[in-house]
Amino acid sequence: MNIDMARLLSIASRCRINILISGGTGSGKTTLLNALSHYISEDERIVTIEDAAELRLDQPNLVRLETRAASIEQTGVVTQRDLVINALRMRPDRIILGECRGPEAFEMLQAMNTGHDGSMSTLHANSPRDAISRVESMIMMANLNQPLDAIRRSIVSAIQLVVQVNRLRDGSRKVTSISEIVGLEGESVVMEEIYRFDFHDSDYGGAVQGEFATQGIMQRSELVKKSHFYGLYDELMSSFSEVRS
């Protein structure tokens, strides 16, 4: 990513924006999540939930939770969904879910919607739009019999930023899109792309060529509103040469 994108993501973390990092295997999702966690204040209580301990957080007020496989007698299993439910009883300021892959997505959205701003998670998807579709599918796995419209409303109210990372054909890893979820239009989730990576023609086998582009950020953006609240508006606006109103 370029320096302006890095500044935007650091401000989003400091402003307690709910962030979903999407990408393929080995694309750098967990690495980026680790980097964003360094901008969390030390006076915040953080609960991390993982299958295997990959996150490296340095904050003093940290609770680490890990899943547990079933024993040989098929007892004692602890799922991510169990951990998310129990994490809500630990008075966390933020919940960081190492990877969202199943029914725990519903509890994660509920946590984001009930005062745990600044929560983060990763999932496997090829684009920000695919990431939203995967969250919808994972919530349906919880067998809650919720209508799709209600699920989409929960997603829109819970997640503010979707960061897409990709491992390209030359082995490089790039943040190819930073998109903000702005609302619902009919039955569709409306997303506003803040930054994107535009690919240029390049020889096969050579390095991938391209540039990072932005059309600015809307003043009605949730990130803009929260940057005012946290006193980071001027720093946020310095990331853009052109701002749409």
pLDDT one-digit tens code per residue, 55-80: 888 888 899 988 888 888 878 888 88
Which residues lie across from 120 on neighbouring strands?
Answer: 19, 96
Summarize pLDDT for 6-23 with one digit per residue, the tens.
999 999 999 999 999 999
pLDDT for res 51? 84
Is the model's pLDDT at 181 over the cut of 90? yes
Summarize pLDDT for 182-202 with one digit per residue, the tens.
988 888 899 999 999 998 877
Q: Could you tell me the fold of the domain covering 3-239?
A: Rossmann fold (3.40.50)
Tokens of 122: 């990763």
Tokens of 23: 């990408």
Single-letter residue type at 233: Y
Q: Is-contact 120 97, C-beta < 8 A?
A: yes
Summarize pLDDT for 87-105 with one digit per residue, the tens.
888 888 988 888 888 888 8
Strand order in the sheet with 19-23: 62-66, 46-50, 94-97, 120-124, 19-23, 161-167, 173-185, 188-199, 210-214
pLDDT for res 241? 56
Q: How far is CA 165 from the centre of its chain?
A: 11
The residue extents of the domains of the chain are 3-239
